[in-house]
Amino acid sequence: MNRRDFFGGALMAGAAATASRAAPLGGCACRPALAPAIAAVPERIRITGAKTFGVTWEEDSDRPYVFIKLETDQGVVGWGEATLEGKAGAVLQTIDDLKEFYIGQDPMRVEHIWQGMYVHAFYRAGPILGSAIAGIDQALWDIRGKVLGQPVYRLLGGPVDSRGVRGYYHARARTPEELAALRESAEDLGVTAFKSGIPGYYEWIETNASINEAVRRIEILREGLGDNIDIGVDFHAKTSPTVASIICKEVEPLNLMFIEEPCPPENYKAMARIARRTTTPIATGERLVAHYSTQQLLEDGTVDILQCDINHVGGVTALWKVGAMAEASGCFMAPHACEGPIGGIATLHVDAAMPNFIVQEICSGVEPTFKERLWEDWLGFPAMRMANGYFPLPDKPGLGFEIDEAALAKHPFKGTKSMSRVWHEDGSVAAW
């Protein structure tokens, strides 16, 4: 007898005994009434098909969007995003490779399907498999919410904050004059946080002039945006632990919200060394896949903020688990989001239910551009735009939107575009 048969038999026996004890004299035990939403769930719902969409929305972009639509025999559909910078074609193929794990399955069994795709891959997931799983998982949660008649954040126990999800834009300003204008716009819109970066590319041991330039750029940010704006600075793993430690120490008086990826995230011990040398909060996580990958960072107390990306880490299921693991370790969440609108919206649902969430990224500026106008064309509303410093939460079931497939078809997939490649002065490969 296998364990499924054993436990199934034990449960049936227990249920029979309970029914016998509960049965009134002269009658039988009646089935308890179910809540209306649960009673309305079809006893059998199955995924019958999947459509993938590679969307080249900008000719020179390294991240053509990868969307997936799951269809069911009950007419309910779910949308997800699996965009991966530089590897769109590989992710599209991987979603197709995974069909045996979700076609014909009950979409309500989200965790079971996630485990099958991850564990039965045998080799632990990298960004390609992680992104494919992420898109499928988001679509499953979308279906689950629609079937149960609730937004996904309510299924997760949210919202924590009725105002929505606090967010930040990217600071697309360099000069004091531009920063002053940005601060004025932020005040008018209620935006309370921005992120920017540091200039150039860095050798393992860097010159004093280069370090001073990086420090000065961060100081100009603080001077231009003022003390009431929270500022994150992304090092993008361009610096070595030595260079990062110097810069982090120098900018401590500026009280930054965080410094992101001061060195490559796979170098746990080096990042821990940087963290021990500064009081500036350290953030990382956008390149991590699955919640398992955060364990060492959390156990060692290496970071203050995790920034896992829902489109890479493994969808709603994995991001939710990262948040729970982080909360237990006294770590906060500020998820990364620099791809398309579906993943961005899916992230808001997880944010809204995490007690240790602090702020949500969107790789957009204060002023909408061509990209944001496309999103509105596809979804029918201004996706991922803040109101009074907060992303509004959808009130519709599931992820809260539908996609105009005809609008997507105007931007057919034109192949994978590689990410940026940069070199140091001597010709050696540089991180960016």
pLDDT of residue 18 exceeding 60: no
Catalytic residues, by residue number, are 236, 336
Nearest Cα neighbor of 55 from 40, 68, 43, 66 is: 66
The amino acid occupying position 382 is P
Check the CA dihedral 297-361-309-110 and report its sign: positive
- Closest C-alpha to 286, from 322, 249, 337: 337
The pLDDT tens digits for 73-130 are 999 999 999 999 999 999 999 999 999 999 999 999 999 999 999 999 999 899 999 9
Q: What pLDDT was estimated at residue 37? A: 53
Average pLDDT over residues 118-146: 96
Query: Given the structure tokens 């564990």, which residue do they identify?
Result: 119
Residue found by looking up tokens 């530089």 in the block: 86
Indicate the domain borders of the chain: 47-151, 153-395
Q: What pLDDT, on a 0 to 100 scale, did the predictor assign at position 2?
A: 43
387: pLDDT strictly greater than 60: yes
Q: How confident is the model at residue 431 (pLDDT cuts 50, 70, 90)?
A: confident
Cα–Cα distance for residue pair 426/303, rounded to 1 Å = 33
Q: Return the CATH number of the domain spanning residue range 153-395.
A: 3.20.20.120
Identify the pLDDT of residue 10: 36
So what's the pLDDT on residue 418?
A: 86
pLDDT band at 61 (very low <50, low <70, confident <90, very high): confident
CATH for the 47-151 domain, from 3.10.180.10, 1.10.10.60, 3.30.390.10, 3.30.70.1150: 3.30.390.10
Which residues is 77 bridged to in the sheet? 71
**Rounded mean pLDDT, 356-364:** 97
Q: What is the pTM of this model?
A: 0.89
